[in-house]
Amino acid sequence: MRYRHDEWPSALAIVIGVLLVGCDQPSMERQPKYETFEAAPGWPHGQSAREPVPGTIAHDDTLKPIPDTQPQELDAALLDRGQQRYDIFCSPCHDRTGHGNGMVVQRGFPAPPTFHSERLRNAPLQHVVDVITNGFGVMYPYRDRVPVEDRWAIAAYIQALQLSQHTSVDDLPPAQRSELERASTGDTRREGNQ
């Protein structure tokens, strides 16, 4: 079947018309929707925002304030928990000794400050907890990753790290001082086991 030359303008007009009608449909950019808290007459209570389901628990701890002081008793269990959480969340950047040369830093991430600087050694524990919660500089906030109790445990462990690097031999109890002296001379026997 052969087409006549005077029919193709009609076919072209039909194709263009169909395409233009299809272009007027709503897209993802301009979709009909309710904005936050906009009045919605078709919904119960006349609002677009839904009431939370009874018993809903908030995603993070924003409903309860973070205490200004250590909420738990400082003991070996708390420091052990702090070390465990520090090794998981902090050591990739701060390294296990707190000098700021973790594996992420060795791969090109900006180095964090050392915990052993004068400024951070004199900072209160609340400052460390606040930085863990809200982030600081290029550090991401860990509010939704680390529970409040673990933030305080990490802060206590960081303080223990700081003390371990800046304590003189004279500050040690006599038993630990003599143990340190034996270790430095190579004598590994304990007192009473001689």
pLDDT digits (tens, 9 = 90+) for 54-97: 887 766 555 566 667 777 788 999 999 999 999 999 999 999 99
- Domain assignment present for residue 23? The answer is no
Domain holding 136: CATH number? Answer: 1.10.760.10
Task: Give residue-wise pLDDT tens across range 150-190.
Answer: 999 999 999 999 988 888 878 778 888 888 788 777 665 55
Q: What is the pLDDT of residue 2?
A: 63
Give Cβ neighbours of residue 80 (< 8 Å, ≥ 6 apart). none
143-156 in b/e form (b: 16+ CB < 10 A) is: beebebebbbbbbb
Residue 115 placed within a domain: yes
Q: For residue 30, is it within any domain?
A: no
Evaluate whether residue 118 is within a structural domain: yes
The total of structural domains in the chain comes to 1
Domain that holds residue 87: 74-164
